[in-house]
């Protein structure tokens, strides 16, 4: 009898709410494990798309089941933070990533979702531009009065690397724009790439010279551009396709296709394969056509991109978390290869999670050498999914097994099957350790007291003594999105921890004071001298003034990534207010219990839900965490989070929408409010500034009146924000 299909193999639109909850938790754990490894790697050639494939299903579930949007800290990152080797450039308009589609139905749902959001009639035509998705390095070029002044990589979406000197060596990047309708300020965005023949020739030269051999054309383009010496970049055959824009003082066209034509008219190369499409069927046919041409192209593509053509509609749709609502990337099917599992290692993460990793005989899949594949958890190794159903037909993975490997979305390596007829007789089922390999403490699978179910992840219980967790916590604290201390990277964290100099975050800021009293100075240690020690102390002092959101993120609270850290910083304003709220909050004991007012306020923040709120409360109610934080705060000056400037009348205000809106959809109303700098909450509290109530408003309206909240009709809201 055939086994029941695994929930993780079901399309999102076929999931029940119960199945979606389980799948949402499984994906959160999987993304979390991969995020730790990704954001601790300083290698500048890691592709941004590596994170898109994991997040796509997670975000699709949240879109299909909005009530599950509770732990988006794992799904709100874009790219990687800027390298320490280059000056940083803050993007005037963030460089966001795209949501992914892997199936035709995803594309059809994308079109339906746009129609729903814009509340369009069935006969209202919707036009898209479809473009080949170049597998290169994203670049933003800033022109002022027609002259190129700055070139920056995507970085983390908000801040990139200044590679202006290097980008000026590319022949396909104009130094001065010529043509009609050139704005005083315009940021042209596109992709730096290397052709396949040039890539092969470069690798042959690199190998002959004993230098680095690149894994694929994308990495070779990124590595070539990130050179300290621009002459090295100039010697590499790099190209540039323009396809988007950032800050513009005026728009030369009112459609995306019109902007592509304008980009070509002012001197940029644009990909000639773009096409206008008028339906989901047209988009899918374009994807199939480009897929057939893929092998014959002289540059790498990893899918196609669909963008709503009308720019005014793009503006209305806005963005969700890290991605625009009006665009999506339709990826190609994964390539597969066969290899052997040489060993299974256990990695201990920052939260104590024990994650198994298969060490493979190196194999090339889709042009990339794959040697390591995450096995997620011990049930996954046994062939059991997060919901208890079989995966891989219930076949377990053993050391010595021959396995089929693919890269999901042409990026994420995963084992999709085991070749049983090649299994060695000596291969035994893998025995997952019940003790932490880093400290020897018991490793347990937590039981959820509300559901009585066992957690899929086994965690080390030695949180205070486990060196793996301590080092990971410190690494996270000094990471790019947190304190980002120049010269204080992974090697320094490991060295200072091993020597007992830095055991907790506060120790970083007392290092100079203690060094002055020490017998053996830092300047006398291996790898340091007077200048490097002085520079490190100066870099530490430069981070004594830190933005609140960076501090919150740096604490390493489970489920609180940089997006949720910003939500908390924006809502509470100060660390003291956040601590007081968390200390006062009472976690509900069951579904009937609503919790007290402090809990309800925390839980009502748009983007924060039960899971995240509980993690925050548990963190701040742990006495040892509060003591460590107090020692840290004694060394810091905490600054308010930097917000985009807004002179709108609702900037900084908290707004709640309720009832039926007649002139816009609920999602469109929320997007408008956030675009104007307002904070959108899901429930009414004393801190609510405006309740926008449409017909059918119920308990929220009553509560708002009781609390003295300013209640507006939809017309009054539109008049207030100047949209009427």
For the cut 50, the answer to whether the pLDDT of residue 79 exceeds it is no
Tell me, yes or no, whether 320 and 351 share the same domain.
no
CATH number where 714 lies: 3.40.50.10190
Q: Establish if 559 belongs to a structural domain.
A: yes
Distance CA 424, CA 426 (A): 5
Q: Answer yes or no: are the C-beta atoms of 108 and 280 closer than 8 Å.
A: yes
Q: Establish if 490 belongs to a structural domain.
A: yes
pLDDT on residue 173: 96
Q: Residue range 553-560: average pLDDT?
A: 86
User: pLDDT tens, 443-465?
Assistant: 878 655 456 577 788 988 665 46
Q: Establish if 168 belongs to a structural domain.
A: yes
Instruction: Tell which of 331, 353, 382 closes a domain.
Output: 331
Residues 6+ apart with CB under 8 A from 689: 650, 653, 654, 655, 709, 710
Tell me, yes or no, whether 94 and 180 share the same domain.
yes
Q: Residue range 363-389: average pLDDT?
A: 83
Tell me, yes or no, whether 597 and 581 share the same domain.
yes
Q: Residue range 340-359: average pLDDT?
A: 91
Instruction: Tell which of 331, 347, 382 closes a domain.
Output: 331
Q: How confident is the model at residue 690 (pLDDT cuts 50, 70, 90)?
A: very high
Between 657 and 452, name the one with better pLDDT: 657
Q: Answer yes or no: are the C-beta atoms of 378 and 348 closer than 8 Å.
A: no
Distance CA 136, CA 193 (A): 5
pLDDT on residue 464: 45
User: pLDDT tens, 173-211?
Assistant: 999 998 888 999 999 999 999 998 898 888 888 878 777
Q: Residue range 66-72: average pLDDT?
A: 61
Q: How many domains does the chain have?
A: 5
**What strands, in cross-sheet order, belong to the sheet with 412-418?**
368-374, 354-365, 336-348, 402-408, 412-418
Tell me, yes or no, whether 264 and 122 share the same domain.
yes
CA 565 to the chain's CA centroid: 13
Q: Establish if 69 belongs to a structural domain.
A: no
pTM over 0.85: no
Q: Establish if 79 belongs to a structural domain.
A: no
Which segments of 302-392 does DSSP mark as H helices, in order? 311-317, 378-382
Distance CA 205, CA 235 (A): 12
Tell me, yes or no, whether 276 and 203 share the same domain.
yes
For the cut 60, the answer to whether the pLDDT of residue 418 exceeds it is yes
DSSP letters for 132-169: EEE-SEEEEEEEETTEEEEEEE-TTSSEEEB-HHHHTT
Residue 422: count of CB within 10 angstroms of its CB: 13
Distance CA 390, CA 382 (A): 9
CB hemisphere CA count around 682 (13 angstroms): 15
Between 447 and 223, name the one with better pLDDT: 223
For the cut 90, the answer to whether the pLDDT of residue 595 exceeds it is no
Distance CA 145, CA 159 (A): 23
Tell me, yes or no, whether 37 and 127 share the same domain.
no
pLDDT on residue 506: 92
Tell me, yes or no, whether 176 and 241 share the same domain.
yes
Tell me, yes or no, whether 416 and 305 share the same domain.
no
Q: Establish if 381 belongs to a structural domain.
A: yes
Range of the domain at 662: 654-720
Backbone phi and psi for residue 188, each to the nearest 5 degrees, phi listed first:
-100, 130
Tell me, yes or no, whether 93 and 194 share the same domain.
yes
DSSP letters for 73-136: GGG---S-PPPTTS-EEE-SS------EE-SHHHHHHHHHHHHHHHT--TTS---EEEEEEE-S
Tell me, yes or no, whether 97 and 213 share the same domain.
yes
For the cut 50, the answer to whether the pLDDT of residue 270 exceeds it is yes
For the cut 80, the answer to whether the pLDDT of residue 77 exceeds it is no
Catalytic annotation, residues: 133
Tell me, yes or no, whether 269 and 155 share the same domain.
yes
For the cut 60, the answer to whether the pLDDT of residue 40 exceeds it is no
Q: Are strands 354-365 and 185-193 parallel, antiparallel or unpaired?
A: unpaired
Residues 6+ apart with CB under 8 A from 184: 144, 145, 249, 250
Instruction: Tell which of 497, 521, 542 closes a domain.
Output: 542
CATH number where 604 lies: 1.10.150.20
Handedness of CA 167, 170, 172, 176 (dihedral sign): positive
Radius of gyration of the chain (CA): 26
Between 607 and 316, name the one with better pLDDT: 316
Q: How confident is the model at residue 159 (pLDDT cuts 50, 70, 90)?
A: confident
Tell me, yes or no, whether 537 and 559 share the same domain.
no
Distance CA 569, CA 554 (A): 13
CATH number where 184 lies: 3.30.470.30
**What rounded mean pLDDT belongs to the chain?**
84
Give me the helix-helix angle, 610-620 and 597-604, nearest 10°: 130
pLDDT on residue 74: 52
pLDDT on residue 329: 95
For the cut 90, the answer to whether the pLDDT of residue 12 exceeds it is no
Q: Establish if 683 belongs to a structural domain.
A: yes
Of the listed ranges 172-181, 226-235, 252-261, 625-634, the least confidently predicted one is: 226-235
Distance CA 62, CA 69 (A): 6
pLDDT on residue 351: 74
For the cut 70, the answer to whether the pLDDT of residue 51 exceeds it is no
pLDDT on residue 27: 76
CB hemisphere CA count around 452 (13 angstroms): 0
Q: Establish if 698 belongs to a structural domain.
A: yes
């Amino acid at each position: 009898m055939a086994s029941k299909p695994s929930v993780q193999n079901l399309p999102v639109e076929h999931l029940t709410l119960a199945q979606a909850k389980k799948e949402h938790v499984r994906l959160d754990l999987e993304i979390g494990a991969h995020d730790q490894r990704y954001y601790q790697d300083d290698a500048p050639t890691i592709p941004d798309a590596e994170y898109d494939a994991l997040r796509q299903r997670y975000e699709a579930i949240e879109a299909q089941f909005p009530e599950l949007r509770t732990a988006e800290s794992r799904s709100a990152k874009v790219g990687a933070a800027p390298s320490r080797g280059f000056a940083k450039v803050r993007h005037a308009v963030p460089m966001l990533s795209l949501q992914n589609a892997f199936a035709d139905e995803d594309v059809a749902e994308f079109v339906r979702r746009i129609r729903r959001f814009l509340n369009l009639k069935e006969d209202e035509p919707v036009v898209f531009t479809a473009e080949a998705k170049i597998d290169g390095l994203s670049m933003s070029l800033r022109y002022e009065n027609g002259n190129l002044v700055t070139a920056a990589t995507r970085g983390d979406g908000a801040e990139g690397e200044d590679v202006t000197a290097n980008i000026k060596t590319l022949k396909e990047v104009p130094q001065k724009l010529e043509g009609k309708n050139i704005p005083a300020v315009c940021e042209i965005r596109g992709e730096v790439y290397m052709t396949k023949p040039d890539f092969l020739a470069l690798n042959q030269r690199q190998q002959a010279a004993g230098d680095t051999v690149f894994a694929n054309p994308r990495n070779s383009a990124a590595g070539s551009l990130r050179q300290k010496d621009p002459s090295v970049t100039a010697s590499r055959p790099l190209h540039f396709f323009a396809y988007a824009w950032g800050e513009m003082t005026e728009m030369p066209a009112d459609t995306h296709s019109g902007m592509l034509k304008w980009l070509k008219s002012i001197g940029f190369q644009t990909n000639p394969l773009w096409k206008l499409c008028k339906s989901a069927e047209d988009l899918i046919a374009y994807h199939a056509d480009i897929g057939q041409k893929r092998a014959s192209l002289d540059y790498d593509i990893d899918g196609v991109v669909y963008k709503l053509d009308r720019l005014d509609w793009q503006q209305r749709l806005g963005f969700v978390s890290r991605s625009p609502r009006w665009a999506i990337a339709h990826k190609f099917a994964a390539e597969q290869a066969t290899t052997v599992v040489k060993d299974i290692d256990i990695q201990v993460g920052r939260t104590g999670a024990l994650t198994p990793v298969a060490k493979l005989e190196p194999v090339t899949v889709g042009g990339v050498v794959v040697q390591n594949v995450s096995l997620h958890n011990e049930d996954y190794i046994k062939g059991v999914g997060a919901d208890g159903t079989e995966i891989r037909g219930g076949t377990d993975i053993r050391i010595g097994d021959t396995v089929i490997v693919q890269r999901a979305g042409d990026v994420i390596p995963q084992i999709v099957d085991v070749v049983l007829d090649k299994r060695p007789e000596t291969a035994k089922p893998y025995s997952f350790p019940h003790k932490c390999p880093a400290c020897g403490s018991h490793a347990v699978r937590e039981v959820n007291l509300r559901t009585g179910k066992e957690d899929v992840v086994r965690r080390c219980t030695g949180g205070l003594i486990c060196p793996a967790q301590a080092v990971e916590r410190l690494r996270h604290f000094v990471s790019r999105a947190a304190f980002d201390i120049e010269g204080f990277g992974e090697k320094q964290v490991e060295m200072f921890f091993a020597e007992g100099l830095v055991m907790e975050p506060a120790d970083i800021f007392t290092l100079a004071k203690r060094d002055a009293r020490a017998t053996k100075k830092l300047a006398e240690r291996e790898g340091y001298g007077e200048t490097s020690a002085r520079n490190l102390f100066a870099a530490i002092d430069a981070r004594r003034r830190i933005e609140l959101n960076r501090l919150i993120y740096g604490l390493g609270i489970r489920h609180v990534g940089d997006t949720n850290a910003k939500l908390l910083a924006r809502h509470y304003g100060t660390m003291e207010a956040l601590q007081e709220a968390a200390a006062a909050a009472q976690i509900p004991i069951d579904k009937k219990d609503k919790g007290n007012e402090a809990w309800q306020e925390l839980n009502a923040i748009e983007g924060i839900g039960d899971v995240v709120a509980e993690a925050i409360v548990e963190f701040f109610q742990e006495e040892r965490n509060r003591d460590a934080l107090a020692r840290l705060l004694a060394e810091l000056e905490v600054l308010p989070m930097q917000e985009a400037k807004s002179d709108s009348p609702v900037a900084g205000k908290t707004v709640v929408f309720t009832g039926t809106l007649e002139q816009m959809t609920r999602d469109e109303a929320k997007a408008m409010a956030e675009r104007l700098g307002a904070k959108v909450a899901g429930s009414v509290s004393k801190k609510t500034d405006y309740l926008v109530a449409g017909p059918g408003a119920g308990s929220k309206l009553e509560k708002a009146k009781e609390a003295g909240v300013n209640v507006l009709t939809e017309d009054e809201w539109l008049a207030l924000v100047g949209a009427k």
